[in-house]
Amino acid sequence: MAAVLPDQVLAVPVRRRALSTQPRRLPESTWGYLLILPAVLLVLGLILYPVVYSGWLSFHNKHAYLPIETFIGFSNFANMFGDGEFWRSIELGAIYGIGSVGLQIVVGVSAALLLNETFIGRTFIRGVALFPYMVPTVVVVILMKWILNDAYGVLPYILKTIGIGEDILWLDTTHVMLTVILISTWTFFPFVVIGTLARLQTIDPELYAAAKVDGAGVVRRFIHVTLPQLRNVLFVVILLRFMFMFTKFDVIWLLNGSSGVGYYTRTLPIYTYIKTFGQLQVGAGAAMSMFMFLMLVCFAMVYFRVFRRDEDI
Amino acid sequence: MSSIELRNLSKSFGDVPAVRGIDLAITDGEFIVLVGPSGCGKTTTLRMIAGLESVSGGAIAFDGEEVNRLPPKGRDIAMVFQSYALYPHMTVFANMAFGLRLSGVDRAQIGERVRAAAELLNISELLRRRPRELSGGQRQRVAMGRAIVRQPRAFLFDEPLSNLDANLRAQMRVEIKRLHSQLRTTVVYVTHDQVEAMTLADRIVVMRDGVIVQSGPPEEVYRQPVDRFVAGFIGAPKMNFLPARLAAENGALSLRIGEGEAEIRLPASDALAGRLGEDVEIGLRPEHLSMRTPGEDTEPGRSFPFPVEVVEPLGAETLVFTTVAGAEVVARCDPELHPRPGDRLTAVVDTAHLHLIDPESGRVLER
């Protein structure tokens, strides 16, 4: 009995080791593919499939609810290009995109420059500055509707008290685009702050010292030291922000919905939504979203070609 | 070109004093090296001279004129930074021309001056490149070129060679020295590297904890350090420090090292008469110990046994290390001696160059 025991004890670990090496016989590359498979399936199912389906839809006359569709070739696109409202939505989208991105850059970079300075409570203020980005859009818009309301809003009241701009009706047809741009700027400028501030903190302080010794004042230091260093980050931020803003749906829709005033902020994504789910012309809506997709791809390509001359710094 | 005077200059960051009232008169065309360990206030002093740091107390004067409130651009100085601080998006030419452009020098003259400086520094073929396309040494030259084209009253260097490898550093040292002898512009040069200080300076200013410990020509600072700090900081390998007790013997002075491990005799001295029986520290440079093999003559009262523990052959000389009275001792030695660890050599002391240091205050004692 005592002589058998050591053999048994020995046998167990040997067998266990043999078992544990078995799965490793799969080549490492196969393991790699297996491990990324879930992610690939998610991407295929949630991104590629809708895009392809949307492309397929854009060539069909498809009922919104019933499984009835007719292939109609490029008719959806022909109709779209002949539709004045479609061109108007692109124009409004461009105004909204350029306006709000421009303001976000100005406000965001200025804020980042301020937050890069040393002052008491800087960490706290930095946190607060990111706050608008964290607030859900729906909350922002509901609050803004209250603040801007011409009957009981606090902003018109304040403006009236100090005696400037008291006649502005923020939510009427003439001002509603400006209002949407301002609200979007407030909500999304922290994105610019984060990117810019991160870059500002990595600029070598000796560059500023060198510029001071070279005789550069505040403005020239900004132009010749800060801006060139921010170039690459601003390149990416502007690209992303413009794409995000051009396709922005929630802020505009939540503020105006399909109301009459909404006609004055009916950008391409809004018009696409109305076409698809309001007028139930799914094929026409799909054609518009395909167009928006291709347009942004072209925009990005041109943008890269024009502004990304060198990879320096 | 200009003389620079610091009068009781001080600087604090909040409650932390960085520079505590230093006085320094730099004559026109002098090459001054501020040297000291990190945090000694040397860079702060330089930045105050540049106008990059405000002055908390005292005054800075250029040619007798106080410049405390003048911004950097009003001081007409040029600075070379540790990171070179070249504008990354500008070509070498634009980098060098930037200061001139801002001060309104006309284009033709800018071109002329940049090309002249580039030639002086051997970087003429780099003028169209961007900083990222240059090696460390080339960037260093461009940074110097940017300073030279300004034809400033003074050059300020802030550890300009510390990002270079050893070979390049030695090469640039020579180059900086040559430039200074050509241009004869006042230079204030900050470094923590005592070799740079020794090789470059007309006058070394050793700083520690915000004050000037000693200032003088390199030779003088090396041969007659005022205290243990300067003695240990200047010179490589470092000066040896040995604990000893001072006694009188037959009309001469005797130094008993450690627990009587060795004894060194010195001629009698009135200045040391009051210190008989007290502990002192012996400071001895490695070159002031000469090695004797067993059997060679050694003079009694001038030598101690030197059992070799570590050998560092450097080619032209060999360093040998041992421990005496708990302190590490290093000596320079003729490589022909071929010392090996375990050899029982004898070290003969050059007593003329032996320093006695007060262990309390760290001051080097008069002999």
Question: DSSP state, B363?
Answer: B
A204 Cα to chain B: minimum distance (Å): 7
pLDDT tens digits for range A215-225: 999 999 999 99
B206 Cα to chain A: minimum distance (Å): 24
The helices-and-strands tally (H runs, E runs) of chain B is: 9, 21
Q: Looking only at Cα atoms, what is the longest distance across chain A?
A: 104
Q: State whether residue B229 sits within 8 Å of chain A by CB.
A: no
* Reported confidence tier of residue A1, pLDDT bands at 50, 70, 90: very low
Cross-strand partners of B16: B13
CA atoms of A87 and A90, how far apart (whole Å): 5
3-state secondary structure of B272: helix
CA atoms of A100 and A107, how far apart (whole Å): 10
CA atoms of A116 and B152, how far apart (whole Å): 32
Q: B77 and A210: CB-CB below 8 Å?
A: no
* Domain residue ranges of chain A, discontinuous segments joined by +: 90-267
Position B178, amino acid: R
Q: A215 and B50: CB-CB below 8 Å?
A: no
Contact B11, B56 (CB under 8 A): yes
Q: State whether residue A204 sits within 8 Å of chain B by CB.
A: yes
B102 Cα to chain A: minimum distance (Å): 6
Q: Which residues in chain A have their CB less than 8 angstroms from residue B72's CB? A: 212-213, 215
Q: B72 and A228: CB-CB below 8 Å?
A: no
CA atoms of B281 and B364, how far apart (whole Å): 9
Facing residue for A213 by CB, picked from B72, B83, B130 = B72
**Strand pairing class (B4-13; B57-62):** antiparallel
CA atoms of A134 and A127, how far apart (whole Å): 11
Q: State whether residue B82 sits within 8 Å of chain A by CB.
A: yes
Rounding to the nearest 10 degrees, give the CA dihedral for residues A271, A276, A282, A287. Answer: 20
In chain B, residues under CATH classification 3.40.50.300 are 4-225
DSSP string, chain A: -TTTHHHHHHHHHHHHHHHHHSGGGS-HHHHHHHHHHHHHHHHIIIIIHHHHHHHHHTTEEEBSSSS-EEE-TTHHHHHHHT-HHHHHHHHHHHHHHHHHHHHHHHHHHHHHHHHHS--TTHHHHHHHHTHHHHS-HHHHHHHHHHHH-TTT-HHHHHHHHHTSSTT--TTSTTTHHHHHHHHHHHHHHHHHHHHHHHHHTTS-HHHHHHHHHTT--HHHHIIIIIHHHHHHHHHHHHHHHHHHHHT--HHHHHHHTTSTGGGGG--HHHHHHIIIIIS-BHHHHHHHHHHHHHHHHHHHHHHHHHH-S----
pLDDT (0 to 100) of residue B226: 96
Facing residue for B132 by CB, picked from A214, A229, A312 = A312
A220 Cα to chain B: minimum distance (Å): 9
CA distances from B363 to A224, B253, B256 (A): 51, 19, 20
Q: State whether residue B79 sits within 8 Å of chain A by CB.
A: yes
**How does pLDDT run along chain B (367 residues), one tens digit per residue?**
689 999 999 999 999 999 999 999 999 999 999 999 999 999 999 999 999 999 999 999 999 999 999 999 899 999 999 999 999 999 999 999 999 999 999 999 999 999 999 999 999 999 999 999 999 999 999 999 999 999 999 999 999 999 899 999 999 999 999 999 999 999 999 999 999 999 999 999 999 999 999 999 999 999 999 999 999 999 989 999 999 999 888 888 899 998 877 889 988 888 888 888 899 999 999 999 999 988 777 777 888 999 999 999 999 999 999 999 899 999 999 999 999 999 999 999 999 999 999 999 999 998 8
For the beta carbon of residue A298, count every other beta carbon within 10 angstroms.
Answer: 10
Q: State whether residue A221 sits within 8 Å of chain B by CB.
A: no
3-state secondary structure of B230: helix
Q: State whether residue B50 sits within 8 Å of chain A by CB.
A: yes
The token pair at B72 is 């950097």
Q: B103 and A216: CB-CB below 8 Å?
A: no
Q: B102 and A216: CB-CB below 8 Å?
A: yes
The CATH code belonging to domain A90-267 is 1.10.3720.10
A307 Cα to chain B: minimum distance (Å): 14
pLDDT (0 to 100) of residue A296: 92
B72 Cα to chain A: minimum distance (Å): 5
Reference A74, options A65, A61, A88, A63; nearest CA is A61
Cross-strand partners of A61: A70
Q: B81 and A215: CB-CB below 8 Å?
A: no
Nearest-by-CA chain B residue for A230: B89
Reference B321, options B339, B334, B296, B338; nearest CA is B339
pLDDT (0 to 100) of residue A12: 47
- List Cβ neighbours of B69 (8 Å cut-off, separation of 6 or more): none
- State the number of CA atoms in the 13 A half-sphere of B240 facing the CB: 28
Contact B52, B44 (CB under 8 A): no
Nearest-by-CA chain B residue for A206: B85
CA atoms of A194 and A149, how far apart (whole Å): 31
pLDDT (0 to 100) of residue A22: 54
Nearest-by-CA chain A residue for B50: A213
Q: A224 and B87: CB-CB below 8 Å?
A: yes
Q: A214 and B71: CB-CB below 8 Å?
A: no
Fold of B4-225: Rossmann fold (3.40.50)
CA distances from A86 to A91, A181, A271, A290 (A): 9, 20, 7, 13
Burial of A152-165, coded b for 16+ CB within 10 Å and e otherwise, reads ebebbeebeeeeee
Contact B252, B267 (CB under 8 A): yes
For the beta carbon of residue A203, count every other beta carbon within 10 angstroms.
Answer: 15
pLDDT (0 to 100) of residue A311: 54
Facing residue for B85 by CB, picked from A210, A217, A313 = A210
3-state secondary structure of B233: helix
Phi, psi of A38 (to 5 degrees): -55, -40
**Strand pairing class (B4-13; B279-284):** unpaired
3-state secondary structure of B251: coil
The radius of gyration computed from the CA coordinates of chain B, to the nearest angstrom, equals 25
pLDDT (0 to 100) of residue A23: 54
CA atoms of A128 and A131, how far apart (whole Å): 5
CA atoms of B354 and B250, how far apart (whole Å): 20
- List Cβ neighbours of B154 (8 Å cut-off, separation of 6 or more): B1, B2, B4, B49, B62, B77, B78, B185, B186, B187, B188
CA atoms of A303 and A246, how far apart (whole Å): 15
pLDDT (0 to 100) of residue B115: 95
CA atoms of B76 and B149, how far apart (whole Å): 12
First to last CA, chain A: 77
The token pair at A194 is 């984060």
3-state secondary structure of B325: coil
pLDDT tens digits for range B140-169: 999 999 999 999 999 999 999 998 999 999
Cross-strand partners of B330: B321
CA atoms of B132 and A120, how far apart (whole Å): 37
pLDDT (0 to 100) of residue A24: 58
A312 Cα to chain B: minimum distance (Å): 7
Q: Which residues in chain A have their CB less than 8 angstroms from residue B73's CB? A: 212-217
CA A220 vs. chain centroid, Å, equals 32
Contact B267, B354 (CB under 8 A): no
Q: For A165-173, what is the mean pLDDT?
A: 80
Fold of B240-357: OB fold (Dihydrolipoamide Acetyltransferase, E2P) (2.40.50)
pLDDT (0 to 100) of residue B250: 81
Q: A206 and B81: CB-CB below 8 Å?
A: yes
- Has residue A10 got a pLDDT over 50? no
